Amino acid sequence: MALSALTIKELREKSGAGMMDCKKALTETDGNMEEAIDWLRKQGLSAVAKKSGRVAAEGLIGVTINNNYGAMVEVNSETDFVARNELFQNFVKTCSTLVLSSKNDIEALQKLPFPNSDRTVNQELANNIATIGENMNIRRAEFLEVSEGILVSYVHNNVADGLGRLGVLVALESKAENNNLLETGKQVAMHIAATSPKSLNIKDLDPEIVEREREVLIDQAMASGKPKEIAEKMVEGRMNKFYQEVVLNEQVSVIDGETKIKDLIKKLSSDINCDVKIKGFKILKLGDGIEVGEANFAAEVAATAGI
pLDDT(292) > 70: no
CATH assignment at residue 155: 3.30.479.20
149 and 113 share one domain: yes
CA angle 99, 100, 106 (to 5 degrees): 25
* 180 plus 32 within the same structural domain: no
Q: Does the pLDDT value for residue 301 go beyond 50?
A: no
The Cα–Cα gap between 136 and 278 comes to 34
**For residues 211 and 219, is the Cβ–Cβ distance under 8 A?**
no
Is the domain of 219 the same as that of 91?
no
**pLDDT-above-90 percentage for the chain:** 59
The bridge status of strand 136-145 relative to strand 149-156 is unpaired
Residue 238 covered by a domain:
yes
Dihedrals φ, ψ of 166, to 5°? Answer: -150, 135
> Edge-to-edge strand order for the sheet containing 58-66?
136-145, 69-77, 58-66, 163-164
Total domain count, the chain: 3
Name the residue range of residue 15's domain.
Answer: 5-46
- Considering the domain architecture, whether residues 181 and 289 belong to the same structural domain is answered as yes
53, part of any domain: no
The CATH number of whichever domain residue 39 belongs to comes to 1.10.8.10
- Residue 42 belongs to a domain: yes
Within this chain, do residues 292 and 246 fall inside the same structural domain, yes or no?
Answer: no
pTM: 0.76
* Same structural domain, 87 and 174: yes
Least confident of 3-12, 50-59, 101-110: 50-59
182 and 79 in a common domain = yes
User: 25 and 98: one domain?
Assistant: no
134 and 242 co-located in one domain:
no
Measured in residues, the chain has a length of 307
Closest listed residue to residue 44, CA positions, set 135, 134, 131, 136: 131
Q: Which residue has the higher pLDDT, 2 or 62?
A: 62
Q: What is the mean pLDDT of residues 91-103?
A: 98
Alpha helices in 171-227 (DSSP H): 178-195, 207-223
Whether the pLDDT of residue 17 is over 70: the answer is no
Q: What is the mean pLDDT of the chain?
A: 87
70 plus 178 within the same structural domain: yes
For 112-134, the pLDDT digits (tens) are: 999 999 999 999 999 888 888 88
Burial class (CB within 10 angstroms; exposed 0-12, middle 13-18, buried 19+) of 126 = buried
pLDDT(38) > 80: no
Q: Is residue 178 part of a domain?
A: yes
Confidence of residue 36 (pLDDT cuts 50, 70, 90): confident
Average pLDDT estimate for 181-208: 96
Whole-number Cα distances in Å, 272 to 113, 133, 152, 157: 44, 53, 18, 33
| Residue-by-residue DSSP string for 31-73 | T-HHHHHHHHHHTT-TTHHHHTTS---EEEEEEEEETTEEEEE
The verdict on residue 51 lying in a domain is no
Beta bridge partners of residue 233, listed in sequence order = none
